[in-house]
Amino acid sequence: MDIRAFYEAFPYPPRDIEAAAAAPAPPSDFAAINHHVFAGRWSRERALRVLSAGCGTGLASTALASQLAANGVPFTMLCIDVSEGSLDIARGRAEAAGLAEWIDFRRAPIESLEQDAEESFDYIDFTGVLNHVEDHPRVLSALGRVLARPGGIGVMAYGALGRTGIYPVQDALRQLGLTAMDSVPEARRLLARLPETNWLRRNPLLADFTTISDAEFADRFLNPRDRAFTVRELCGLCGDAGLSPTAFLPPILYDAKAILGEAGLRDRAEALSREEQWHLAEQLQGSLHKHNFLAVKLGDGDPAKIDFGDPNYRAVIRGAAGRALAAGFADKADARVSIAFEHDGQTKTMALRLSGLEIEVLEKLCESASFGEIREALAGEDRAALDAAIERVCGALNAIGALYLEVAPPPR
């Protein structure tokens, strides 16, 4: 079965159109895109041109479109996929969400995209597709060609280490001829009998294989083309396509120093290039089964670099961790506070110690104060200490996806 026939049979993600209201998740969250691609400076004066490359049933693209519409970010979106069945569901989803007038749908392979002034994009959503294409460099290069400058691409690609256990099982199913669309029940029965020594049974990240839907099961085990990547491989592929990753998300999971306790080892990690530090973190974490990252065109310098001297930045606070943030630190100056954050359905924690000044900064950031307003409100503080506090608090919370920065007008 080829990949198009597979996704005609099992449109992905296999969820109801009603789920269109799902919250956008990084990398397909405008706050993350604006921060890590445009340094928070997307002006909103013209429409953000979005390409959803391999949109599938449009869950992520509709969530992003809904978010853009709700936040007054003008946009146009082109959704392409090789599966007509998936596009039909995506169309229905966009209509149900009242977004159809801004979104075009086209059945086409990504490889057919040509550089064209009429068709260049400020943001390309490319989630869950790299894993299934035949010629990875060709597909990424095609996307690099239609990416505007400045512009960025959000990628979700499978993580090789975290998916330990899947590929030997896929191989075994193929050997047994369990590749057809109606092989799901037989494959399920086989997996139920796997010995405890099998790596699939020993990988807690994949333990849900007994409860997932047929479409999800087929996507995971019967997919005719599926591969996973290390961070180093992804960075290499990006480089060859003229792209440069700016952040793997959430950054804390790709920060080797957060794992290395000893100062000497942390110094050695710090001496590595940024890409090698991400790779090191992946090797140490061992559990990353999906890599979400944002990349820009090579040669743009670092368009995602935040200028902490700019007084116009405000924080966009995200998620339950974000809302509970300031409250969690009340009266806890210089004490270690454990902050929970969600990643890929799992709750993780980060320990953080903030000074009294940093807690004041955090409170102001949570009230949507701009950097300029914070400096004015805390004018009595030592300026260098205040600047350091702003940068540290923003960096720590951005690391868990609880805070993004944007140059935005004051809230009404």
> Token digits for 41?
């400076």
| Residues paired with 294 in a beta bridge | 154, 247
Give the x-and-dash track for 123-142 against ligand SAM (CB under 6 A).
Answer: ----xxx--xx---------
Residue tagged 């047994």 (tokens): 176
Q: Report d(CA 11, CA 56) in Å as an integer.
A: 7
Q: Is 215 helix (H, G, I), strand (E, B) or coil?
A: helix
Residue nearer to ligand SAM on the CB measure, 86 or 244: 86
Which of 65, 82, 147, 408 lies at the binding interface for ligand SAM (CB under 6 A)? 82
Residue nearer to ligand SAM on the CB measure, 1 or 340: 1
User: From residue 72, how far is each of 68, 97, 176 by CA, in Å?
Assistant: 6, 16, 53
| Residues paired with 296 in a beta bridge | 152, 244
Residue nearer to ligand SAM on the CB measure, 19 or 340: 19
**Counting contacts by CB under 6 A, is residue 110 touching ligand SAM?**
yes
Q: Report d(CA 131, CA 177) in Å as an integer.
A: 22
Report yes or no: 158 and 228 within 8 Å, Cβ to Cβ: yes
**Counting contacts by CB under 6 A, is residue 316 touching ligand SAM?**
no
Instruction: Report how far Cα 80 is from the mean position of its chain's Cα atoms.
Output: 19
> Token digits for 314?
């405000």
Q: Is 368 helix (H, G, I), strand (E, B) or coil?
A: coil
Residue nearer to ligand SAM on the CB measure, 142 or 304: 142
**Counting contacts by CB under 6 A, is residue 13 touching ligand SAM?**
yes
Strands 147-158 and 290-297: antiparallel
**Counting contacts by CB under 6 A, is residue 7 touching ligand SAM?**
yes
**Counting contacts by CB under 6 A, is residue 29 touching ligand SAM?**
no
**Counting contacts by CB under 6 A, is residue 55 touching ligand SAM?**
yes
Which of these segments, 16-24, 55-63, 178-186, 323-331, binds ligand SAM (CB under 6 A)? 55-63
How far apart are CB 293 and ligand SAM at their closest, in Å? 14
Residue type, 202: R
Residue nearer to ligand SAM on the CB measure, 89 or 235: 89
How far apart are CB 107 and ligand SAM at their closest, in Å? 9
- Residues with Cβ within 8 Å of 95's Cβ and at least 6 positions away in sequence, in order, are none
**Counting contacts by CB under 6 A, is residue 86 touching ligand SAM?**
yes
Which residue's CB atom is positioned nearest to ligand SAM? 56
Residues that bind ligand SAM (CB under 6 A): 3, 7, 12-13, 54-56, 59-60, 80-83, 86, 109-111, 127-129, 132-133
